[in-house]
Amino acid sequence: MLIVFCLFLDKSWMHTPEALAKHFIAYNVKFLGHTEVDQPKGTEVVKDAVRKLKFQRHIKKSEGQKIPKVELQISIYGVKILDSKSKEVQYNCQLHRISFCADDKTDKRIFTFICKDSESNKHLCYVFDSEKCAEEITLTIGQAFDLAYKKFLESGGKDVETRKQIGGLQKRIQDLEAENSELKKQLQVLEEQLMIAQVPPGNSMSSKTPTDIFDMVPFSPMTPLVPLPASNGSAPPPPATPSEISSYIMDVRSRRDLFGAEPFDPFTCGAADFPPDIQSKLDEMQEGFKMGLTVEGTVFSLDPLEGRC
């Protein structure tokens, strides 16, 4: 059983569950940037990150660069950071990867969160400057995390069961492919026998009993075929006539495979589209939600940014 440890502020959620589940909550903020941190949680960790990014921003400001404006879109599917003008997604932070979120009690504009990068697996601290709504944004991220975790618990059991069914289908596919290979071998033998049986009579070799390259008496259409033993050890089927063999061969050749359809692919059938690495993705989400999200208000004790614009 998963237990999520969340240190939330003693406040009610600010939005309806439908707003975060079916839509998103948008905030226009300024993006100070992100920097790598060595821990997924901790007040001192984000203090150092904020101090570092504020210092870098002061340097860039002295060079004439303004703080870039972005739009935050918060929902149960993650926190997206978009360019405020082009609406191009710059970062997409999934909620189960966010482990810590805090706002500055001495500066109502500054808030930050720590997120594990999906490619490098490094912990990155993102720092923002908002219009005096840092606490609201922090609580919104906390609420979205809470709803996403509940949704994961509700659908997790179904996903696990689906994964088991896919495993069973894959085993069945392997068995069918092995049976298909065996049937193709038997079909090839039947084709060779049919070709020998259709050799026209009265040729130059009719003076003696004809034989094939193996000095074997060829198959005669007047003689029933010798049935091949079944692969599972059961009783062999009754002999087939040349016409039945010919009809069977034509039917097989007109199809994609011996089962009359393209090979079954469990990842492209049905309404759901499950990626091949569904197990690792579910394990990753489980691990992220297990770590939990710590939401707190803290005092950074840092000078506010100068000349906000």
Provide the pLDDT confidence category of residue 154 given band limits of 50, 70 and 90: confident
Residue 104: the pLDDT is 85
What HEC string does the chain produce?
CCCCCCCCCCCCCCCCHHHHHCCCEEEEEEEEEEEEECCCCCHHHHHHHHHHHHHHHHHHHHCCCCCCEEEEEEECCEEEEEECCCCCEEEEECHHHEEEEEEECCCCCEEEEEEECCCCCCEEEEEEECCCCHHHHHHHHHHHHHHHHHHHHHHHHHHHHHHHHHHHHHHHHHHHHHHHHHHHHHHHHHHHHHHHHCCCCCCCCCCCCCCCCCCCCCCCCCCCCCCCCCCCCCCCCCCCCHHHHHHHHHHHHCCCCCCCCCCCCCCCCCCCCCCCCHHHHHHHHHHHHHHCCEEEEECCCCCCCCCCC
Percent of the chain predicted with pLDDT > 90: 34
The topology under which CATH files domain 17-155 is: PH-domain like (2.30.29)
Domain borders along the chain are 17-155
Q: Is the pLDDT assigned to residue 25 strictly greater than 80? A: yes
Residue 156: the pLDDT is 65
Residue 279: the pLDDT is 65
Contacts 24+ apart (CB under 8 A), 110-116: 110/50, 110/134, 110/300, 110/302, 110/304, 111/135, 111/137, 111/138, 112/46, 112/49, 112/50, 113/79, 113/138, 113/141, 114/37, 114/39, 114/40, 114/41, 114/45, 114/46, 115/79, 116/40, 116/288
Closest to 54 measured CA to CA, from 112, 97, 102, 105: 112
Q: Distance between CA 108 and CA 296 in Å, rounded?
A: 13
Handedness of CA 292, 293, 297, 298 (dihedral sign): positive
Per-residue pLDDT reduced to its tens digit, 60-93: 888 889 999 999 999 999 999 999 999 999 999 9
Angle, nearest 10°, between helix axes 242-253 and 134-197?
A: 150
CA 232 to chain centre: 39
Per-residue pLDDT reduced to its tens digit, 97-116: 999 999 988 888 899 999 99
Mean pLDDT across the chain? 75
Q: Is the pLDDT assigned to residue 47 strictly greater than 80? A: yes
Residue 293: the pLDDT is 84
Question: Is 96 or 243 the better-scoring residue by pLDDT?
Answer: 96
**N residues, the chain:** 309
Percent of the chain predicted with pLDDT > 70: 61
Per-residue pLDDT reduced to its tens digit, 132-144: 889 999 999 999 9
* pTM of the entire predicted model: 0.57
